Amino acid sequence: MTTIHRLSLPRDRFALETHFAALGSEDLCNRFGHSIKPEAVTKYLDQLSTASIPSYGIFDPDRRLIAVSQLAQSADELEVGLSVLPTYRRKGLALALLNRCARYARTRGLKSLIIHCLTDNLPMLSLARRIGMTIEISNGETDGHLTLRAATALDFWGEIADDQESLANSIAKSVLKSWQRAVQTTLGGVTAPKESDT
């Protein structure tokens, strides 16, 4: 089962920076819909840190952020941007993130899920069609639109459970970092005993 984590800034800022740095220029263009320089990605993350809407991510066993979804919310729609590291594609990670975002939207009363991408972004178009999105193509750009069903009790319970899990993971990571710092401080402060002059 794929574990999806709710990302938080500034806690996960380095993980997000590392994720985007691992994407090639074509991948970044597909993610943002245009060519983008590293400093623009930094500015984007700065703006993201002030937004109240969450991002979601999937980590590998080495705690590397391998798949990310970022959200933008309007009055009744949720736009989703996705990126997956090349070696982890075609494993269902983007679909898992998209389903997670759909549940987020349903539990907040939003009516539809949308994506916006370049027309030559074939993996994203394939994913959009796979989940039943209506596709509109114009001037080299594509909009995908999925009308969402009403939320059920299971959606709300799932949202609560995932938020609690994310909170627990956040606390556990903070405790682990504090423990590691304490160990390093303790070991760093220990000096080897002097040899006797016998």
Distance between CA atoms of 115 and 144, rounded to whole angstroms? Answer: 5
Residue 131 DSSP label: T
Q: Is pLDDT at 6 greater than 70 in this prediction?
A: yes
> What's the pTM value of the predicted model, to 2 decimals?
0.77
Q: Is pLDDT at 66 greater than 70 in this prediction?
A: yes
**Least-confidence region, from 72-76, 129-133, 174-178, 182-186:** 174-178
The pLDDT value recorded for residue 196 is 47
When comparing pLDDT for 190 and 62, which is higher? Answer: 62
Beta-strand pair 77-84/55-59: unpaired
Distance between CA atoms of 80 and 68, rounded to whole angstroms? Answer: 10
Distance between CA atoms of 171 and 174, rounded to whole angstroms? Answer: 5
pLDDT band, residue 169 (cuts 50/70/90): low
**Least-confidence region, from 14-28, 117-131, 152-166, 175-189:** 175-189
> Domain segments of the chain: what residues?
5-179
Pick the CATH number of 5-179 from 1.20.1250.30, 3.40.630.30, 3.40.50.720, 2.40.30.170: 3.40.630.30
Angle at 78 between CA 105 and CA 4, to 5 degrees: 60
The pLDDT value recorded for residue 171 is 54
Q: Is pLDDT at 160 greater than 80 in this prediction?
A: no
Phi, psi of 132 (to 5 degrees): 90, 20
Phi, psi of 5 (to 5 degrees): -105, 140
